[in-house]
């Protein structure tokens, strides 16, 4: 069994696509519509056939409450691993991203958090080398 897809709720799919591709550097994988429904996914260019992230429109009232509460508590909606969190921080910040936490050492890792502009916090994680 493998994980091939996970979702993050966003308040605007077009804005999310721009952020996840132009700011974070992911590649658009799937984008098609059926009436008002839009299926939109991105993937890492480092693993184009790997796990996809669905940018799902958050038009569910219960999900909106959850999303807002997680954001207010500073809890990330998704975590992405990197081998160079400080380098990625500088690059992503130069592309206009708003970080809520710069690279910070925590037990076993260095993490940074940023606002995806679509209702979520995203965490970048670089695991410590033992």
Q: What is the pLDDT of residues 106-118, one digit of tens each?
A: 999 999 999 999 9
What pLDDT does 129 receive?
A: 83
User: Looking at the whole model, is its pTM more than 0.75?
Assistant: yes
Residues 16, 118 contacting (CB under 8 angstroms): yes
pLDDT at 128 over 90: yes
Partners of 33 in the β-ladder: 38
What pLDDT does 130 receive?
A: 62
Question: From CA 71, how far away is CA 73, in angstroms rounded?
Answer: 5
CATH for 5-127, among 3.40.50.970, 3.40.630.10, 3.10.180.10, 3.20.20.70? 3.10.180.10
17-27 pLDDT, tens digit per residue, is 999 999 999 99
Question: From CA 28, how far away is CA 6, in angstroms rounded?
Answer: 15
Residues 63, 9 contacting (CB under 8 angstroms): yes
Burial of 98 (0-12, 13-18, 19+ CB in 10 A): exposed
């Amino acid at each position: 069994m493998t994980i091939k897809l996970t979702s993050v709720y966003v308040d605007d799919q077009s804005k999310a696509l721009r952020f996840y591709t132009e700011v974070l550097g992911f590649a658009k994988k799937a984008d098609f519509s059926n009436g008002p429904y839009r299926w939109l996914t991105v993937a890492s260019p480092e693993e184009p056939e790997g796990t996809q992230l669905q940018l799902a429109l958050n038009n569910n009232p219960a999900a909106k409450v959850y999303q807002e509460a997680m954001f207010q508590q500073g809890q990330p909606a998704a975590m992405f691993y990197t081998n160079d969190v400080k380098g990625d921080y500088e690059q992503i910040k130069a592309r206009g991203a708003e970080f809520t936490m710069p690279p910070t050492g925590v037990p076993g890792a260095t993490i940074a958090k940023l606002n995806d502009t679509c209702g979520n916090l995203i965490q970048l994680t670089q695991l410590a080398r033992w």
